[in-house]
């Protein structure tokens, strides 16, 4: 085992939003399956650091690739919920969300995941207007959500939400993703931002987050490391060609960046952070 560098005070809550982009685009089935090969790339980096992380998994993946989900559980990673079919919360509404969660939990159970304690909203769609989601998560037995970007980005965000981990009125912990720059903030450890920002900035902001006592929180997708993916228009970009071009930039450098950050922190599944740090009254608020 690798010693816990500086203890768990330097927690990196790295995660993969495990979804198949082909199921979100018209005619996606004509493109080659890429998810397994891409997950393997993440697993190689994690293995180099003897680290486990959280895979927020769409029900659709559990239905189509149960053996992939089983292998993640067997390797000690956390498999958490990313919705049944990756539908944003506003489109589901409260009742639709409850049904979607139940189906997603069934999908995960059938793929061998006994206990699911965490949730991430598709396209980070937990915003002020969909704040009702926390109560429904509590009702279905979830312990935490990591679904809020506490800033106003081009596509999503809840700028008034605290950047710290907070316990909501319904008892659910919300673990917001790391941002810098205040209300117009940048989720620098996530997706396209992680790939495109100069690494010196990413690393400096990463250190800043860890020094402040907050966990570093970010997410990537299988396609973020895929240098061989066929070109197509990605979903949820409003059809913008400029944004779509950015979806393909910087993918080749992601694993090397992760290697360098993993070496500087303790990478841990979210559920462990909740059990060890939040539920025990550990660091919640930070400067």
Q: Would you call 19 exposed, middle or buried from its count of C-beta atoms within 10 A (0-12, 13-18, 19+)? A: buried
Residue 83 or 185: the one with the smaller Cβ distance to Zn ion is 83
- CB–CB of 284/34 below 8 Å? no
Smallest distance, Å, CB 114 to Zn ion? 23
Smallest distance, Å, CB 251 to Zn ion? 17
Three-class secondary structure of residue 241 per DSSP: helix
- The C-alpha atoms of residue 87 and residue 60 are separated, in whole angstroms, by 11
Q: How many other CB atoms are found less than 10 A from the CB of residue 243?
A: 16
Residue 62 or 210: the one with the smaller Cβ distance to Zn ion is 62
Residue 122 or 185: the one with the smaller Cβ distance to Zn ion is 122
Smallest distance, Å, CB 219 to Zn ion? 8
Smallest distance, Å, CB 39 to Zn ion? 14
Closest among 175, 221, 174 to 194, alpha carbons compared: 221
Q: How many other CB atoms are found less than 10 A from the CB of residue 272?
A: 16
Residue 16 or 216: the one with the smaller Cβ distance to Zn ion is 16
Strand partners, 267: 12
Residues of this chain that interact with Zn ion (CB under 5 A) are 17, 19, 122
Residue 61 or 278: the one with the smaller Cβ distance to Zn ion is 61
Smallest distance, Å, CB 99 to Zn ion? 19
**95-98, Cβ contacts within 8 angstroms, sequence gap of 24 or more:** 97/133, 97/136, 98/136, 98/139, 98/140
Smallest distance, Å, CB 6 to Zn ion? 31
Scan for tokens 């790391």, then name that residue. Answer: 178
Residue 19 or 107: the one with the smaller Cβ distance to Zn ion is 19
């Amino acid at each position: 085992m690798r010693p816990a560098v500086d203890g768990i005070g330097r927690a990196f809550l790295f995660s993969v939003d495990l979804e198949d982009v082909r199921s979100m685009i018209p005619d996606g089935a004509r493109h080659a399956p890429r998810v397994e090969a891409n997950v393997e790339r993440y697993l190689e980096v994690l293995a180099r650091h003897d680290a486990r992380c959280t895979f927020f998994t769409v029900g659709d993946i559990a239905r189509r690739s149960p053996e992939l989900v089983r292998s993640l559980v067997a390797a000690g990673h956390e498999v958490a919920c990313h919705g049944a079919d990756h539908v944003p919360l506003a489109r589901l509404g409260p009742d639709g969300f409850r049904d979607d969660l139940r189906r997603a939990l069934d999908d995960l159970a059938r793929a061998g995941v006994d206990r699911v304690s965490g949730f991430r909203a598709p396209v980070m769609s937990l915003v002020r207007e969909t704040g009702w989601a926390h109560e429904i998560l509590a009702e279905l037995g979830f312990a935490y959500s990591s679904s809020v970007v506490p800033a106003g980005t081009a596509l999503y965000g809840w700028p008034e939400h605290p950047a710290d981990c907070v316990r909501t009125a319904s008892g659910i912990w919300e673990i917001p993703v790391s941002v810098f720059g205040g209300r117009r903030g940048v989720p620098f450890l996530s997706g396209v931002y992680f790939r495109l920002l100069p690494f010196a900035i990413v690393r400096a902001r990463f250190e800043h987050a860890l020094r402040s006592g907050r966990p570093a929180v970010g997410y990537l997708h299988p396609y973020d490391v895929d240098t061989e993916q066929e070109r197509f228009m990605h979903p949820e970009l409003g059809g913008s060609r400029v944004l779509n071009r950015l979806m393909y930039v910087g993918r080749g450098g992601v694993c090397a960046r992760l290697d360098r950050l993993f070496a500087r922190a303790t990478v841990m599944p979210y559920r462990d952070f909740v059990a060890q740090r939040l539920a025990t009254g550990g660091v919640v608020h930070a400067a």
